[in-house]
Amino acid sequence: MREFPSLGEPVDQISPAAFKRRLDDGEEFTLLDTRKPDEYESWQITHPNLTVVNIPFMRFLDADNEHPATAVPAGIPEGPLVTCCAKGLSSFYVAEFLHREGFDVLALEDGMEGWANLYQHRPVETASAGGEVIQFHRPSSGCLSYLFVADGEAAVIDPLRAFTEEYATVVGEYGATLEYAIDTHVHADHVSGVREVAAATAATAVLPAGATERGLEFDATLVDDGETFALGDREITARALPGHTTEMTGYEFAGVLASGDTVFLDSVARTELEDEQAARDAAGVLWETVQALSELDDGTTVAPGHVGPTTAPGEDGSFSASVADLQDRLRAFDEPKEEFIDRVTSNLPPQPANFAEIIDLNLGRTSADSEAVFELELGPNNCAVSE
């Protein structure tokens, strides 16, 4: 049921997928976010081709009541505009208001909730012949997941619970069956879908062996550094990548390393979310992990667990880079250890929202329904430090 007044203006809505596609294609927009300032400050839509302005809904409602013929709040750009709010209701009214006043404006369908439900996938084209790697991207949080496919068998890496059904659908598109649902570590920024994907598909749930020391309370196959497991006619190799967490493990397949929260394309992982008191020690371990990555073949593709809000994709459209490219991008590869430790433990961004509750869910200590999970995950992931 509509909760806001209607002006009866013929305003078009744009779906989150279409909005993202047009931004990616180079169109420039101004997003007019009509949420309260505190809600806006905690989480916004970001894109290199997007300018965001926050003018709360009540300013438009007050203006319409007091000066219905002419009043437009100050600070509205001429356009093209897209309006947005939490669920697309108040912002649709604002779009009607602005359309009536002659503005070029669209309304984002379902607002931030619709944006949070957007999930996209594309191949990582640098995967070697005989194996396919598909990258999933949730633009609202920057979370990345992966599908490995070979010889009719598939494995999903770092699946999100909110998109459990999506993985089975894409696996079917590749004519494969899902054999494994794998986590790189105990996540702090999103609720893992490992158990739900495994239950829905009869896949084997896989976690790093070190998750047991963190209090894992559900049954899963545990893997150690260097262990391999078959996927069709190829193998997945587990690579210990500690630092962000003690059990962080990457998975190498077809020349691609799904590196979890270790290095990103423009930063490195933070180290205090598992144990704040041990953050400096963990940072030293992460530095050693980064140095070890430099020993991989320069052509190895690193496929991270997150992407920043302004990070540009590579030539194939995926968020991935070769080891050689990362060495050029990230000072961590050449940074003295103590300087690195000081940097990654200082001036950190806010911690991921609800991270303690999310960790408990991912260890199996607590449970939550789908609606609660969706609410817990809203907002940026904040698992990286500034580069």
178 and 292 assigned to the same domain: yes
165 and 102 assigned to the same domain: no
- Output 377 or 256, whichever has higher pLDDT: 256
342 and 246 assigned to the same domain: yes
Q: Does 106 fall in a domain?
A: yes
End of a domain among 115, 143, 176?
Answer: 115
Phi, psi of 27 (to 5 degrees): -70, 145
The pLDDT assigned to 347 comes to 83
Judged by average pLDDT, the poorest of 88-92, 275-279, 304-308, 348-352 is 348-352
Phi, psi of 16 (to 5 degrees): -55, -40
197-218 residue pLDDT tens: 999 999 999 999 999 999 999 9
Average pLDDT over residues 367-378: 89
The pLDDT assigned to 386 comes to 67
The pLDDT assigned to 142 comes to 92
353: domain CATH number?
A: 3.60.15.10
Q: Does 234 fall in a domain?
A: yes
322 and 273 assigned to the same domain: yes
pLDDT confidence tier of residue 348, bands split at 50, 70 and 90: confident
Residue 64 has pLDDT above 60, yes or no: no
* Average pLDDT, rounded, for the chain: 92
Number of domains comprising the chain: 2
**pTM summary value:** 0.92
Residue 68 has pLDDT above 60, yes or no: no
The pLDDT assigned to 321 comes to 96
249 and 106 assigned to the same domain: no
57-65, Cβ contacts within 8 angstroms, sequence gap of 24 or more = 57/85, 57/90, 57/91, 57/93, 57/94, 60/34, 60/93, 60/94, 60/97, 61/5, 61/93, 63/97, 64/7, 64/97
215 and 349 assigned to the same domain: yes
Residue 114 has pLDDT above 60, yes or no: yes
End of a domain among 95, 115, 135?
Answer: 115
Judged by average pLDDT, the poorest of 69-73, 275-279, 375-379 is 69-73
225-264 residue pLDDT tens: 999 999 999 999 999 999 999 999 999 999 999 999 999 9
Q: Does 165 fall in a domain?
A: yes
132 and 105 assigned to the same domain: no
The pLDDT assigned to 314 comes to 87
213 and 312 assigned to the same domain: yes
Q: Does 386 fall in a domain?
A: no
19: domain CATH number?
A: 3.40.250.10
SS3 call for 302: strand
Q: Does 387 fall in a domain?
A: no
39-56 residue pLDDT tens: 998 889 999 899 999 999
Provide the domain limits for residue 254. 119-377
Let me know the angle formed at the C-alpha of 209 by 291 and 130, rounded to the nearest 5 degrees.
Answer: 70
Q: Does 2 fall in a domain?
A: no
End of a domain among 80, 98, 115?
Answer: 115
Candidates 78, 82, 140, 141; CA nearest to 108 is: 82
pLDDT confidence tier of residue 78, bands split at 50, 70 and 90: confident
181-199 residue pLDDT tens: 999 999 999 999 999 999 9
Q: Which letter does DSSP use for residue 384 in this model?
A: B
Candidates 189, 177, 176, 103; CA nearest to 145 is: 189
